[in-house]
Each structure stands twice: as structure tokens, then as C-alpha cells.
Amino acid sequence: MINTEILVIGGGPAGLCAAAEAAGHGARVLLLDDKGILGGQLIKQTHMFFGSHLQYAGTRGIDIATILIDNAKNAGVQLMPAATVTGIYEDGVVTAYTDDKFIKIKPEKIIVATGAYENMLAFPNSDLPGVYGAGAVQTLMNVSGVAPGNRVLMVGAGNIGLIVAYQLLQAGIEVAAVVEATDKIGGYYVHANKIRRMGVPILTRHTVKQAWGKSGVEGATVVQLDEQFRHITGTERNFAVDTICLAVGLTPLTELLWNAGCDMRYIPALGGHVAWHDENFRASLENIYVAGDADGIEEASSAMIEGKIAGLNAAKNLARKTNLTQKLYDERIKDYHGQLNQLRRGPFGEKVRMGSGMLTGLPPAVDAPIESLPTDYRAFPAGARVVIECEQNIPCNPCETICPHSAIKVGKDIVNYPTLDPEKCTACAICLTRCPGLSLFVINKEFSETETEVSIPYEFTPLPKKGDVVDALDRQGNFVCKGKITRALASKKFDRTSIVSIAVEHKYADTVRHFRADGAPKPEPRVNPPADIPGDMDAIICVCEDITRRKIEEAIDRDGAQSVDEIKRLLRCGMGPCQGKTCQRLIMQILAKKLGRNIAQFMPQTYRGPMKPVPLGVLAKANDEEKN
């Protein structure tokens, strides 16, 4: 039995920050993560983060992971990667499985920062190799350095779908289109704009109707949806793709919280079932805290602060007195709550403000009006200056922090839209390299008598050369005119974002926002699904046990199943090695639709440890060792 004061489960942004905070106050902290590499999803993120410098805004995710791991190490946290927690039991004992060994831990406080898992979308042939979760695509491409395919269809236009589409392009992989079932782009427009100006279409109110292929994806049919999300016949379009990437949302990973016996609530705005917690992130059980996506889907920046709050409170409530004074506690807690409220300001924080209100029963935080709203900088008289095209009020201010001339103002309320003081702006373009949305440009309307110079943040290889003639593109990736490269600057100071400047005719100054160096794009290959796919082909819902949608519908209609557990007993759905993590949400959706009820009325299957398959030999060995 390992004894520790605080056990942190999960080594992503929330867990690492929770551990570092608690250990920083003198608590003995052990952190477990089931992956061999710590950092959670940060290790796959090539883009700079939003927020303020307090959450490392303007730094790339991959680099934030290193910072957070170092912070935890320096604070004295004992890190145990590649250790999977398999249960939290009534007597407060936590079991884990590492390196062919089964271990037991008895902590005084537990911080659950297990993150989230990806939602599945089922369509005919969605189980074919080549249909990947967005996280898997990122792992393969950005951690292993292996291209997941040659041509990808992205499903979902939330931040993850948009970011991964951009990362695919950075890795030299084609993105045929992004499809989104709702009528609007859910992610930041700045992320959408990065891929749109490279010519990737974003099709809202569209979904995948089917995929096809013999031993892997060879193509996909996309169809338009009506207001009730029904397929509109006759709107089908076929895409020749070898990969379909699913980015259709996340569900908090809460199995350990269910297992521990926490009070769980279904909050759609937070992504599903989450543990009730107080404002200091303590769950209904006194020894358990939650932080990060495990208690509601949000950004990594807020996960870090939630982790700090949970870590601070766990340290404060230990039986032994640590070196955390009341004064320091009061200071920190005020600061962290202030930061969290700040990140949850504006239109993108609305969901989580509402969700937290529903969860805690407290009235949702009132969002004070935002002072500075999007302004159109596109047309301005003359000279050279920065244009700001964020389009939305995003909590983010690296442009203000980096500007050496104090020409950009966001203010204390970082959700404000940045404003530019044209008198102070020298058009130095430094801000272009630090904007996480790549939404700043420098326009010099006095470049020459006939030409304007447009400077663009550029994150692709190879860098063009001065004098190259390229295709200048508009914000949708359409060809506008030919342009000449006047500058291509790369510098260590720019942190891998280069600045490329193109000279175009004056009249295109407000239109050109990107370029293409390799000539006209290839036309969309024409392709049709093979004739032998049955028109009403069934989709597989439970991939472990090979159970189709029709089988589940039959169990409801014919056998009278009314719950996830009943379907599990009748069909074995969720009894395979994934333990229901892939199919459960889909089954709840089918039940809700068939029975005409709200999805909130369905409970997930009963969770019992071990939460992941553990070889019996490992358990037996542990039993033997304990006896000796």
C-alpha cells in the first residue's frame, strides 16, 4: 500500500497544475497518468494558446506541456506515468495497474483530473479502418510523426475539428472538406479562417451519410441536413478520401467518480454527466476534488486554473498543517477565481457559465457587458498598419503583450476586442507572429505607386523566396490575382511563425489574405460509391461486440428495453474490452429518440472496477505478494 497525502489522477493541464499547486504548499503529492508521456492533450497541440500570459497564452501547446511538467517536478510532485487507475473504492483505496504490477494507494485527498473522451458518430461503415477520432489523428501525426492518410474528410467544426484540419494541412495532408451538422461553426472563427483561406470548404448543416471501402476507407458520401437533422435526399456529394476524422465533441471521463460514489448530474452544457462540486471543486465526497474536462468540457487554459483551485483546497484541508497560510490561501483563491471568471467571459463562455450554474445550483455568473466589440479594420485610408480580424470576442491578449510600441490595447478585460492606435503602430509585424488565431495582418498601402504590400503570418514549409510569383488568395481561398513575394521572414524570435509579404495591386489590399505557391489546386476527384452497398446499410454501434443500430432498435421495440443496462443485458453492448466508452452515448441517443424522451433521463451503465481490462495474472500476483 502506497501512502500519500494527495493523489492526482491525470497528468494533463488540470492534473499537472493541481499537483504543482498542492506540492508547492508542502503537501506530499503523487500523480498518476495512464500514458507514458505526461501533458495530456497538450503534447499534440502545435498552435499557440489563447487566454492571458497567466495561462501561457501565445505559447504553443507542446511547449506548455514541458513547462507544466517542469513546474510539477520542481514543486516536488512524484510523477508516475504509464500507471492506469482502475478504481476508487469505498474505503478510500485507489487501485492502479502499472508495468505488469497491480498497486494500491491510500491517499488523504484525491483530485480526479481524468479529462474527456471523444464522442463517436455512427454511419454505415463507420467502423472501417481509416475512420479515426481527432485525438488519434493528432497522436499519429504530431507525436508519432506518421501521416494518418493522404486526403481527409473532417467531421465537426468545433475548435477541435478546425484545429486538427489546420494541423493536417501543416503536415502536408489534404483536407477535402469540413462538415458540421449544426447551422454554424462552433469553434473560433479565427481557427475556421486559417483553413478557409487555404481553400478548405466548411459545409454547415451537413453530415456523413456513409463511408465505403474494402479493407479501409476509400470514400465518403456527405449529405445536407434539414432543421430536424434529417438527411435531404438528392443533396448527396461524394468525396474521394482515405481518412475520415471525427471531431464531434467530448464527454467528461467520469467512471472513477461514479465508482467512488460521487453525486453525478447530467449537464448538457458541460458535455454529459459530471460530478457535483462546490465552488472550490470539491465533489460530494469530502476527500474527492475534480478539475479540468472531467468536470465539464472547456479549454485547457481554464483546466489549468481549475487544477490550481482544486490543488490549493486539497492542500488546505489536509489533516497535517502544511506551509499554506490563511493569508496566502485567501490571496490565491481570489486570484484564481478572478482568472477563471475572466476566461469564461464573452460569447464562448456562455455555455460553461450556464452549465456551472446548473451544476452548483448557484445563479449563473452574470456577464458584464463587453466594452470593446469587433470593429472592421478592413478599410483604412493610407500608410502601413496592422489590421485586426479576430471577428469575435475571444478571451485572449498576446497581441497587446507582445507589441513593443503599445499600439494594441485589449485592456484588463481580455475578452475585449483589440483596438489599434494607428499613431503608435509602426507596422513592425511582431504581433503577427504571436496571435494564436493568426488573424493579424500588416497592410502597407504605400508600398509603391501601383502596389500594396500584404504581410501574412505563415506556418507552412517551404517558405517562399523573395521575388517568387504566387497565387494571391482571398479569405475563402479563392484566386484573386498574381502577387510577388517581397519578404519572407523567419526568426527564432517569431517562434516558428514566419511573416510572408506579397505585393498586389492596390485594389486587392483588403481582399488578399493568403497565397498559394504551388499553382492551381487539383480539381476534386470524381468518385462514386460502389454499386454493391445496400441502400439501407446498417451502422455498427457497439464495435467490440459487433452490434448494429437495428439490433438495438429491435431490443427497444420488440423486447421492451428501456435503459442502457437492459440493452447491455440483452445484447452485450458495452461488455467488450472498451467497457462501453465508444457506444454508450450512442445507445442513450437511440433510446431517447425511440422512446421520445430527453437524453438526460437515461443513466449510463453501472460502472464497476476495474475500469480498464487488467490481466488476471497481474491481479493474482498482487494477491500473492500481499500475503507474503
Partner 1 sequence: MRRITEHPILTFKQGKQVKFTFDGKSMEGREGDTIAAALEAAGIRVFRESINLLRPRGFFCAIGRCANCSMVVDGVPNTKVCVALLREGMNVETQHGRGKIAIPRGGQTPRRSEATEGG
Q: Is the Cβ of residue 117 or residue 188 nearer to partner 1 in the bound state?
A: 117
Q: Does 428 bind partner 1 (CB under 8 A)?
A: no
Q: Which helix (H) or strand (E) holds 177?
A: strand 174-180
CA atoms within 13 A on the CB side of 63: 12
Q: Does 530 bind partner 1 (CB under 8 A)?
A: no
- Residue 484 has φ and ψ, to the nearest 5°, of -110, 130
**Total number of residues binding partner 1 (CB under 8 A)?**
57
Q: Does 93 bind partner 1 (CB under 8 A)?
A: no
From 87-95, 136-144, 283-291, 413-421, give the range in contact with partner 1 by CB under 8 A.
Answer: 136-144
Q: Is the Cβ of residue 347 or residue 530 nearer to partner 1 in the bound state?
A: 530
Tally of CB atoms within 10 A around 136 = 15
DSSP 231: B
From 29-37, 432-440, 468-476, 558-566, give the range in contact with partner 1 by CB under 8 A.
Answer: 29-37
Which amino acid is residue 431, in one-letter code?
C
2, 54, 67, 140: residue in contact with partner 1 (rule CB under 8 A) = 140
Q: Does 255 bind partner 1 (CB under 8 A)?
A: no
Q: Does 381 bind partner 1 (CB under 8 A)?
A: no
From 169-177, 185-193, 376-384, 475-483, give the range in contact with partner 1 by CB under 8 A.
Answer: 169-177
Q: How far is the CB of 217 from partner 1 (least distance, A)?
A: 9
Task: Tell me how far apart the alpha carbons of residues 277 and 356 are, in angstroms, rounded to a whole number.
Answer: 9
Which residue in the block uniquely carries the three cell numbers 492571458? Answer: 52
Peptide bond into 374 cis (omega under 30): no
Of residues 267, 237, 241, the one with CA closest to residue 252: 267
Torsion angle, alpha carbons of 316, 321, 322, 328, to 10: 50
Q: How far is the CB of 209 from partner 1 (least distance, A)?
A: 19
SS3 at position 233:
coil
Q: Does 46 bind partner 1 (CB under 8 A)?
A: yes
108, 295, 389, 545: residue in contact with partner 1 (rule CB under 8 A) = 545
Q: Does 145 bind partner 1 (CB under 8 A)?
A: yes
Which amino acid is residue 334, in one-letter code?
K
Q: Is the Cβ of residue 365 or residue 533 nearer to partner 1 in the bound state?
A: 533
Cell numbers linked to 563: 435503459
Q: How far is the CB of 102 from partner 1 (least distance, A)?
A: 13
Locate all alpha helices (DSSP H) within 344-415, ordered by sequence. Answer: 350-360, 398-402
- Residue 64 has φ and ψ, to the nearest 5°, of -65, -40
Q: How far is the CB of 215 from partner 1 (least distance, A)?
A: 5
Q: Is the Cβ of residue 403 or residue 586 nearer to partner 1 in the bound state?
A: 586
Q: Is the Cβ of residue 339 or residue 455 nearer to partner 1 in the bound state?
A: 455
Q: How far is the CB of 390 from partner 1 (least distance, A)?
A: 22
Q: How far is the CB of 435 from partner 1 (least distance, A)?
A: 15
Site for partner 1 in 301-320 (CB under 8 A): none
CA atoms within 13 A on the CB side of 267: 26
Collect all residues with Cβ–Cβ distance below 8 Å to 405 and sequence separation of at least 6.
Answer: 424, 425, 426, 428
Q: Does 141 bind partner 1 (CB under 8 A)?
A: yes
CA 426 distance to own-chain centroid = 35
Q: Does 540 bind partner 1 (CB under 8 A)?
A: yes
Task: Tell me how far apart the alpha carbons of residues 266 and 603 are, in angstroms, rounded to a whole number.
Answer: 9
Q: How far is CA 90 from CA 105, 255, 257, 288, in A?
A: 13, 14, 11, 12
Q: How far is the CB of 97 from partner 1 (least distance, A)?
A: 11
SS3 at position 196:
helix
Q: How far is the CB of 443 from partner 1 (least distance, A)?
A: 24
Q: Does 623 bind partner 1 (CB under 8 A)?
A: yes
55, 139, 433, 486: residue in contact with partner 1 (rule CB under 8 A) = 139
Task: Tell me how far apart the alpha carbons of residues 504 and 108 are, in angstroms, rounded to a whole number.
Answer: 66
Q: Does 338 bind partner 1 (CB under 8 A)?
A: no
Q: Is the Cβ of residue 253 or residue 310 nearer to partner 1 in the bound state?
A: 253
Cell numbers linked to 130: 481509416
Contacts for 569-575: CB closer than 8 Å, 24+ residues apart: 571/542, 571/545, 571/547, 572/542, 572/545, 572/547, 573/541, 573/542, 573/545, 573/547, 574/542, 574/605, 575/544, 575/545
Judging by DSSP bridges, how do beta strands 101-112 and 2-9 pair with one another?
parallel
Helix pair 13-24, 61-74: axis angle to 10 deg: 30
From 94-102, 140-148, 525-533, 585-593, give the range in contact with partner 1 by CB under 8 A.
Answer: 140-148
Q: How far is the CB of 146 from partner 1 (least distance, A)?
A: 5
Q: How far is the CB of 534 from partner 1 (least distance, A)?
A: 14
Q: Does 460 bind partner 1 (CB under 8 A)?
A: yes
Q: Is the Cβ of residue 228 or residue 461 nearer to partner 1 in the bound state?
A: 461
From 101-109, 300-308, 526-534, 577-585, give the range in contact with partner 1 by CB under 8 A.
Answer: 577-585
Site for partner 1 in 207-226 (CB under 8 A): 215-216
Task: Tell me how far apart the alpha carbons of residues 225 and 46 are, in angstroms, rounded to a whole number.
Answer: 33
Q: Does 617 bind partner 1 (CB under 8 A)?
A: yes
15, 51, 107, 149: residue in contact with partner 1 (rule CB under 8 A) = 149
Q: Does 51 bind partner 1 (CB under 8 A)?
A: no
132, 276, 336, 602: residue in contact with partner 1 (rule CB under 8 A) = 132
Q: Does 268 bind partner 1 (CB under 8 A)?
A: no
Q: How far is CA 438 from CA 193, 487, 623, in A?
A: 9, 18, 56
Site for partner 1 in 585-614 (CB under 8 A): 612-613
Q: Does 109 bind partner 1 (CB under 8 A)?
A: no
Q: Does 133 bind partner 1 (CB under 8 A)?
A: yes
Q: Would you tell me which residues interact with partner 1 (CB under 8 A)?
A: 34-36, 46, 60, 62, 117-118, 127-133, 135-136, 139-142, 144-150, 170-172, 215-216, 242, 459-462, 496, 540, 543-546, 576-578, 581-582, 612-613, 616-617, 620, 623-624, 627
